[in-house]
Structure 1
Amino acid sequence: MAKPFLKQKAIELRRAGQSYSQIRRQLGVSKGTLSAWLEGMLLSPERIVELRDRSGVRIERYRETRRRNREDILRAIYDQERSKIFPLSPREEFLCGLFLYWGEGGKRVKGSFYLSNTDYRMMRFFVRWTRETLKVPLRKIVVRLHVYSDMNIEREQDFWSHALDIPIPRFRKPYVKGSTLTGLSYKNGFGHGTCNVIVNDAMLSKRILMGIRSIADTFGNSGPVA
């Protein structure tokens, strides 16, 4: 008994310019049934364009909602983890620096130790670690940049000087590569060149390397990881 009513309702909705999807959601009938009922009832080209535009807007709104939800989740996790990590004790900050140097620091230069990276945040921490945790005086620290030939050297030195809070007189003459930044196919992270922070302190270099070795030996002798 409901079929004639549903068919008539489907025809009315179609005449009102609704799409198959809209009608199906309201009446709960199959696509095949709807196709049989509405055979020959085509929408105008203008209405089809209008429906497509609306669909695009809905899709974009859905994507934006998903993006915001994802950002909200990440922000909540970020805040939670930050509250767990900070504030760092002096011992914890010292260990952070050791592990950073173990992974990224130079191990070959005698009489000094250094770190090279393109990430100003990492380099800023390294400078903080040397100045505040290790109590290295500024006179023992020098900076050298590796830049591309199409970079503005003065501007990049100003950037790193501000990022690291190290005055320009502590910067050595930069190494200029023959290649260009614009010629790179992968540019992420290279926008300001590579920064090298060198600390001239032979005894401190030995302490750092031996501290790293003690960590490596301790974990290396603990047996295989299950």
Structure 2
Amino acid sequence: MTNTGTNFGSLHDPDLGRPGTPPDWARRPNAKDHLRLKARALREQGMTYDEIRAELGVSKSSISAWVRDLPKPAPRWKKVPQMQRLERAQAAFRASRDEERERLTSEASRQVGDIDDRELLLIGAALYWAEGSKDKTYARRESLTFINSDPHMIEVYVRWLELLGVERHRMRCSLHIHDSADLTEATRFWSEITGVPAEDFLKPSLRHDNPGTNRLNRGPSYRGCLRIYVTNSARLYRQVEGWWQGISGWAAAPGIDRLSGMV
């Protein structure tokens, strides 16, 4: 029996494609062809799968099937916007923190108010016992010797010495400072703080400055430490030791609510 039907597989017309395959003109259009072409164009522009998915609204698996033959785009720095947001948030936090610090410091400063002589006496005694030179059984140092780099600390100490009747000519001042600093300017500065004439300052104690060290106290604001030795102060030293014993004895006494009303 002869088959008179048409068999596309038997035809060898090159326009019809390989045997058993309908030609391109015979296929139905695919609804996603335009998305595929768009995805390929976006990939060639350097977009990632996530960016293409957000642009076209198709799955990553479809995108992968459409563009997998294309070269992977060069990596891009995508964290710039995130870093900018983080920096802005950190700047806002620092500004808020600084404002809170200023507020609390100002409130605490106003709580102090005026200080009478008795309060200054106790403040100075505690200050000296924390920062001043103290007598030891193996090294007798019954004299007032105080050293510090904080100008305000020095101001309080000098006011305390005035309360104790110490005149300026009994204050022997000397600098402990690196040799790279401006010694003349530092002397002038401490002279104004203490009221002791610059020409009366003793020979400074200089320390060699190694430029290779990571020392932050450099520049015009660096003025070293000031040492103040009070002549003929053995009797005063013994009094300071007694005042401190009184303060520390009060602190050790049981059953006293000392912090009530402070906060």
TM-score (norm: length of structure 1): 0.68
Percent of aligned pairs sharing the same letter: 21
Higher helix share: 1
In structure 2, relative to structure 1, the CA distance for the partners of 1:147 and 1:38 (3 Å cut) is same
Question: Separation in 2 of the partners of 1:116 and 1:80?
Answer: 29
Question: Separation in 2 of the partners of 1:37 and 1:119?
Answer: 70
Task: Give the aligned partner of residue 209 of structure 2.
Answer: 180
* Structure number with bigger Rg: 2
Question: Separation in 2 of the partners of 1:90 and 1:165?
Answer: 20
In structure 2, relative to structure 1, the CA distance for the partners of 1:53 and 1:199 (3 Å cut) is same
Task: Give the aligned partner of residue 8 of structure 1.
Answer: none
Q: Per-residue deviation at 1:142?
A: 1.5
Is 1:199–2:226 an aligned residue pair?
A: no
Is 1:158–2:188 an aligned residue pair?
A: yes
Whether the 8 Å contact between 1:161 and 1:167 is mirrored in structure 2 is yes
Is 1:141–2:168 an aligned residue pair?
A: no
Is 1:122–2:149 an aligned residue pair?
A: no
Task: Give the aligned partner of residue 65 of structure 1.
Answer: 92
Q: Per-residue deviation at 1:96?
A: 1.2
Question: Relative to structure 2, which stretch is displaced further, 117-126 or 188-197?
Answer: 188-197
Question: Separation in 2 of the partners of 1:99 and 1:38?
Answer: 76
Whether the 8 Å contact between 1:145 and 1:196 is mirrored in structure 2 is yes
Whether the 8 Å contact between 2:169 and 2:196 is mirrored in structure 1 is no
Q: Unpaired segments of 5 or more residues in structure 2? A: 1-37, 68-72, 256-263
What is the CA deviation profile of residues 25-46 of structure 1, one whole-angstrom value per residue up to 9, with x for unaligned ones?
A: xxxxxxxx98568766xxx989
Equivalent position amino acid for 1:158 in 2: R
In structure 2, relative to structure 1, the CA distance for the partners of 1:181 and 1:212 (3 Å cut) is farther
Question: Separation in 2 of the partners of 1:36 and 1:96?
Answer: 76
Q: Pairwise CA RMSD of aligned residues?
A: 3.9
Determine helix, strand or coil for the equivalent of 2:133. Answer: coil
Aligned mate of 1:216, from 248, 251, 254: 248
Whether the 8 Å contact between 1:141 and 1:170 is mirrored in structure 2 is no
Question: Relative to structure 2, which stretch is displaced further, 135-144 or 211-220?
Answer: 211-220
Task: Give the aligned partner of residue 128 of structure 2.
Answer: 101
Whether the 8 Å contact between 1:151 and 1:181 is mirrored in structure 2 is no
Question: Separation in 2 of the partners of 1:193 and 1:34?
Answer: 69
Whether the 8 Å contact between 2:133 and 2:141 is mirrored in structure 1 is no
Question: Separation in 2 of the partners of 1:52 and 1:220?
Answer: 58
Question: Separation in 2 of the partners of 1:213 and 1:80?
Answer: 31
Aligned residue pair count: 198
In structure 2, relative to structure 1, the CA distance for the partners of 1:58 and 1:174 (3 Å cut) is same
Question: Separation in 1 of the partners of 2:83 and 2:247?
Answer: 56
What is the CA deviation profile of residues 167-218 of structure 1, one whole-angstrom value per residue up to 9, with x for unaligned ones?
A: 21331111223x3253544445993222111122333222212211222344
Question: Separation in 2 of the partners of 1:73 and 1:35?
Answer: 49
Question: Separation in 2 of the partners of 1:67 and 1:127?
Answer: 36
In structure 2, relative to structure 1, the CA distance for the partners of 1:187 and 1:53 (3 Å cut) is closer
Is 1:169–2:196 an aligned residue pair?
A: no
Q: Per-residue deviation at 1:103?
A: 1.1
Task: Give the aligned partner of residue 18 of structure 2.
Answer: none
In structure 2, relative to structure 1, the CA distance for the partners of 1:146 and 1:214 (3 Å cut) is same
Whether the 8 Å contact between 1:20 and 1:34 is mirrored in structure 2 is no
Whether the 8 Å contact between 2:191 and 2:197 is mirrored in structure 1 is yes
TM-score (norm: length of structure 2): 0.59
In structure 2, relative to structure 1, the CA distance for the partners of 1:183 and 1:162 (3 Å cut) is farther
Whether the 8 Å contact between 2:175 and 2:204 is mirrored in structure 1 is yes
